[in-house]
């Protein structure tokens, strides 16, 4: 596990330290465990190459491959390990991203065959206690 090319980022306007950088580049060897990336903040993770196996709290385990992007909100427990040599970038999202609240993460898991004439079905009513 290592933060790559620290010297390349020292001149960046928003680089204050390796731990607080908004944009970070990572490289992991097979079976390396990833650090807890989204403890107090959201993370956009872009996997450049390789494969990562993930456990996402109460959501089903997943595996993502190269050229995929993933948003990890700060309130979802995220554990992962590299299934093969992997390189990825993370972009820290220090504040809440104003996403459309019509769909929650469970809605995004709907099977694509539920499409009706090429359009998504209307969102389910979310119950709030």
Going by C-alpha positions, the residue among 81, 67, 69 that lies closest to residue 36 is 81
Q: Determine, yes or no, domain membership for 124.
A: no
Q: Determine, yes or no, domain membership for 120.
A: no
Q: Which domain holds residue 60?
A: 2-98
Q: Determine, yes or no, domain membership for 33.
A: yes
pLDDT at 96: 60
Instruction: Supply the pTM of this predicted model.
Output: 0.60
pLDDT at 38: 72
Q: Determine, yes or no, domain membership for 8.
A: yes
What is the number of structural domains in the chain? 1
What's the pLDDT band for 16 if we cut at 50, 70, 90?
A: low
Q: Determine, yes or no, domain membership for 23.
A: yes
Between 1 and 7, the more confident residue is 7
As a whole-number percent, the residues of the chain with pLDDT over 70 amount to 56
Q: For position 11, which CATH number holds?
A: 2.60.120.10
If you average pLDDT over each of 30-34, 75-79, 116-120, which comes out highest? 30-34
What is the CB neighbour count within 10 angstroms for residue 24?
21
Q: Determine, yes or no, domain membership for 63.
A: yes
Residue 128 in this model has a pLDDT that exceeds 80? no
Q: What is the mean pLDDT of residues 69-83?
A: 84
Q: Determine, yes or no, domain membership for 107.
A: no
Q: Determine, yes or no, domain membership for 29.
A: yes
pLDDT at 47: 92
Between 104 and 54, the more confident residue is 54
What is the 3-state secondary structure of the chain?
Answer: CEECCHHHHCCCCCCCCCCCCCEEEEEECCCCECCCCCCCCEEEEEEEECEEEEEECCEEEEEEECCEEEEECCCCCCEEEECCCEEEEEEEECCCCCCCCCCCCCHHHCCHHHCECCECCCCCCCCCC
């Amino acid at each position: 596990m290592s933060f790559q090319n620290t010297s390349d980022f020292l001149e960046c306007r928003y680089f204050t330290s390796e731990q607080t950088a908004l944009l970070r580049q990572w490289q992991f060897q097979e079976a390396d465990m990833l650090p807890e990336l989204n403890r107090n903040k959201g993370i956009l993770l872009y996997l450049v190459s390789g494969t990562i196996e993930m456990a996402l709290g109460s959501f089903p385990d997943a595996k993502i491959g190269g050229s995929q992007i993933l948003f990890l909100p700060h309130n979802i427990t995220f554990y992962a390990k590299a299934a093969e040599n992997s390189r990825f970038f993370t972009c820290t999202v220090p504040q809440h991203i104003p996403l459309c609240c019509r769909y929650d993460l469970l809605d995004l898991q709907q099977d694509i065959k539920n499409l009706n004439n090429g359009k998504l079905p209307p969102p389910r009513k979310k119950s709030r206690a």
